[in-house]
Amino acid sequence: MPNHLFDALFAPQAGRDDPFLHLPDGGALSCRDFDALSARLANALIAADLRPGDRLAAQIAKTPAALALYAACIRAGIVFLPLNTAYTDAELAYFIENSGARMVVCDPSRRDGIRAVTQETGPRIETVDADGRGSLLDAAAGCPDRQDPVARGADDLAAFLYTSGTTGRSKGAMLTHANLVSNARTLAEHWRFSRDDVLLHALPIFHTHGLFVATNVTLAAGGSMIFLPGFDLDAIVRHLPRATTMMGVPTFYTRMLDDDRVTRDLVANMRLFVSGSAPLLAETHAAFEARTGHRILERYGMTETNMITSNPYEGERRAGTVGFPLPGVEIRIADPETGASVPEGEIGQIEVRGPNVFAGYWQMPEKTAAELRTDGFFVTGDLASRDADGYVSIVGRGKDLVISGGYNVYPKEIELVLDAQPGVRESAVIGVPHPDLGETPVGVLVPRCDTGPDLDRIQAALRETLAGYKRPRALVVIDELPRNTMGKVQKNALRERYRDLFADAPARPD
């Protein structure tokens, strides 16, 4: 029976004896063996009375078995819900209850805690540990290694991914078979992936970057992956010489630059480095190119849309931008109030339409209606501008916009100035309450290892560069910026930390 996602990505590789996953211990799992493992797992899920359309929540370590569980859900028609391994039991309870998951797969050490917080919903709980053992794999071991994928069409749901929930409860983005297939095929072609490619995979697989970009693109091209459990610099250096491509977050690249072993000779076999999930500093672009000869390709996407834009594979990869809309994807940069497109060079909100855009938020019709326009454009909440050459530059999230004394202040504009100052490794600008201005920008700085920032000198540079209403009324220095697992700066945490910074300021400063 036709199964849209399985037929497009998994089935073409099923009979091959070529390696699919190169493992850290030097071993490998062939395409044929991966297919057999996913078939056994699919049969185990079906034997557990899971039916097409049911949800399965998985909070397990990154292993070949974890990836095969994703494939098993697709072939059994089950909606796959990968969850961050850092979530607490209390956090998991919300995702499990909200999704209506009929099965939860977790590490054995989490089983009792999850059972305690899911007594009312009562999902079946199975286990898979970091060594690829557990009750679900025991059940699968006794199942056939062949399974006919159940019928699933392009519009059927393949996965849920929950948003980060920085402004309220997380929303379950419903991704269809067509969403995932379209993006995988587009990216594989746009980035020139082929069967010859070996992707160095050090990303988590509970997120769109590691699962639906890195993995699906490799599958679409028929390539293989060096499948690391996480980012470990020694492991990266050890495996880079036999890789051809790598996808990472900016933190990967800054850490690689801190290691003298990362040289042109080390990456001589590489053809492409891709960065995403968080902004890449222009300084990192330049330093990485000078060190390795490679210019990192930066792209932009979201949980709800997979990838939206990309710098070109051939042509100028422009630092500070996320390139152009991908083939088949439309974007407009619009006034948040009216929805009308803004002129070239002006800042507006990114809206996107295409086969990559999700089907809506699970059990949240009001949220879906608010963010999916009737003409099919999804309102991303990201602020950006587009230059005369068509390159898109992300300014920040709409919720990060600072409105100080009635003026709009875009944090990215200030961060670019701060990042360029001596002694500053990176920065984040946030808005905090102010008794006179409503809110005001504050600059949070991370110092370089060798020297700290001269705050008086930085303030002088800000006075020369920015209008008065844009200048931070305070600069604070901290050891590191709080980030989520994908490297995004958690500005909500910074806003909470410094919300009382001006609590004692006079209502009208002198």
Q: Which residues pair with 126 in a beta bridge?
A: 105
- If asked whether residues 412 and 378 sit together in one domain, one would say no
- Is 373 in the same domain as 439? no
For residues 7-25, average pLDDT: 96
Number of folded domains that form the chain: 3
Tell me the per-residue pLDDT of 78-104, one tens digit each, with 9 for 90 and over: 999 999 888 889 889 999 999 999 999
Which residue matches tokens 């930390």? 497
**Within-domain flag for 185:** no
Across the chain, mean pLDDT equals 92
202 belongs to a structural domain: no
> Residue 459 forms beta bridges with which residues?
none
Same domain for 81 and 133? Answer: yes
Instruction: Report d(CA 277, CA 238) in Å as an integer.
Output: 25
Residue 115: inside a domain: yes
pLDDT for res 507: 52
C-alpha to C-alpha distance for 170 and 153, rounded to whole angstroms: 27
Asked if the model's pLDDT at residue 505 lies above 70, the reply is no
Question: What is the torsional sign of CA 128, 133, 138, 141?
Answer: positive
What DSSP line would sit under 272-329, residue for residue?
EEEE-SSPPPHHHHHHHHHHHS-PPEEEEEETTTEEEEE--SSS---TT---EEPTT-
Q: Which of 6-20, 34-48, 156-170 has the lowest mean pLDDT?
A: 156-170
Of 369, 397, 425, the residue that ends a domain is 397
SS3 sequence of 169-219: CCCEEEEEHHHHHHHHHHHHHHCCCCCCCEEEECCCCCCHHHHHHHHHHHH
Q: Is residue 224 in some structural domain?
A: no
In a domain, 143, yes or no: yes
Instruction: Check residues 434 and 290 and name the one with the higher pLDDT.
Output: 290
CATH code, domain carrying 384: 3.40.50.12780
The per-residue pLDDT for 166 is 44
Question: Is 281 inside any structural domain?
Answer: yes
424 and 391 in a single domain? The answer is: no
Residues 451 and 304 in one domain: no
Sheet holding 124-127, edge to edge: 124-127, 103-106, 55-59, 79-82, 157-162, 172-176
Indicate the range of 121-125, 397-401, 417-421 predicted with least confidence. 397-401
Are both 347 and 406 inside the same structural domain? no
How far is the C-alpha of 422 from the C-alpha of 351, rounded, in Å? 36
- Please check whether residues 166 and 279 belong to one and the same domain: no
Q: Which of the listed residues 397, 413, 438 is the one where a domain comes to its end? A: 397
The closest of 347, 342, 368 to 357, measured between CA atoms, is: 368
pLDDT surpassing 90 at residue 251:
no
- Whole-angstrom distance, CA of residue 68 vs CA of residue 60: 12
pLDDT at 456 over 70: yes
Q: What pLDDT is attached to residue 279? A: 80
Task: Specify the pLDDT at position 434.
Answer: 82
Cα separation, 186 vs 363, whole angstroms = 30
Cβ density class 327-354: b for 16+ within 10 Å, e for less: eebebbbbeeeeeeebeeeebbbbbbbb
Question: Would 216 be classed as within a structural domain?
Answer: no
Given this model, what pLDDT does residue 403 score? 78
Same domain, residue pair 254 and 373? yes
User: Where residue 167 falls among pLDDT bands split at 50, 70, 90?
Assistant: very low
Q: Which residue has the higher pLDDT, 85 or 352?
A: 352
Q: How confident is the model at residue 2 (pLDDT cuts 50, 70, 90)?
A: very high
pLDDT by residue (tens digit) across 371-416? 999 899 999 989 999 999 999 998 887 888 787 876 778 788 899 8
**Of 344, 375, 397, which residue is a domain's last?**
397
Question: Region 427-452: what's the mean pLDDT?
Answer: 85
- What percentage of residues in the chain have a pLDDT greater than 70? 97
User: 42 exposed, middle or buried (CB, 10 Å; 0-12, 13-18, 19+)?
Assistant: buried
Residues 493 and 379 in one domain: no
Look at residue 151 and tell me if it is in a domain: yes
Residues 389 and 411 in one domain: no
Rg for the chain, CA atoms, rounded: 23
Structure tokens at 429: 């600008």
Reported as a pLDDT band with limits 50, 70 and 90, residue 127 is very high
pLDDT tens for each residue of 173-204? 999 999 999 999 999 999 999 999 999 999 99
- Name the residue among 442, 455, 450, 446 with its Cα closest to residue 480: 446
Q: How far is CA 432 from CA 69, 292, 444, in A?
A: 44, 40, 12
**Higher-confidence residue: 502 or 314?**
314
Are both 235 and 140 inside the same structural domain?
Answer: no
How many whole angstroms separate alpha carbon 120 and alpha carbon 286? Answer: 54
pLDDT of 506: 61
Neighbour tally for 424: CB within 10 Å: 24
More confident residue, 104 or 277: 104
Per-residue pLDDT at 510: 42
Q: Which two tokens stand for residue 106?
A: 């977790």
* pLDDT tens sequence across 284-308: 899 999 999 999 999 999 999 999 9
Q: Environment class of residue 112 by beta-carbon count within 10 Å: exposed (0-12), middle (13-18) or buried (19+)?
A: exposed
Q: What was the pLDDT predicted at 405?
A: 72
| 345 phi and psi angles, rounded to 5 deg | 90, -15
Residue span of the structural domain in which 258 resides: 231-397
**CA neighbor of 393 nearest in space, from 296, 280, 253, 306:** 280
Quickly list DSSP for 40-107.
HHHHHHHHTT--TT-EEEEE--SSHHHHHHHHHHHHHTPEEEE--TT--HHHHHHHHHHHT-SEEEE-
Look at residue 509 in the predicted model and tell me its pLDDT. Answer: 45
For residues 387 and 239, membership in a common domain is answered with yes
CATH for 427: 3.30.300.30
In DSSP terms, 476 is beta-bridged to 444
- How many other β-carbons are positioned within 10 Å of the β-carbon of residue 434? 20
DSSP designation for 22 = E
Segment 486-495 mean pLDDT: 84
User: What's residue 194's pLDDT?
Assistant: 97
Beta bridge partners of 442: 430, 474
pLDDT digits (tens, 9 = 90+) for 19-58: 999 999 999 999 999 999 999 999 999 999 999 999 999 9
Residue 303 tokens, joined: 């949980």
pTM, two decimal places:
0.86
How high is the pLDDT of residue 138? 97
Q: How confident is the model at residue 282 (pLDDT cuts 50, 70, 90)?
A: confident
pLDDT per position as a tens digit, 313-342: 999 999 989 999 999 999 999 998 888 899
Residue 452: band (very low, low, confident or very high) from pLDDT cuts 50, 70, 90:
confident
Maximum distance among all alpha carbons in the chain?
Answer: 78
Burial of 390 (0-12, 13-18, 19+ CB in 10 A): exposed
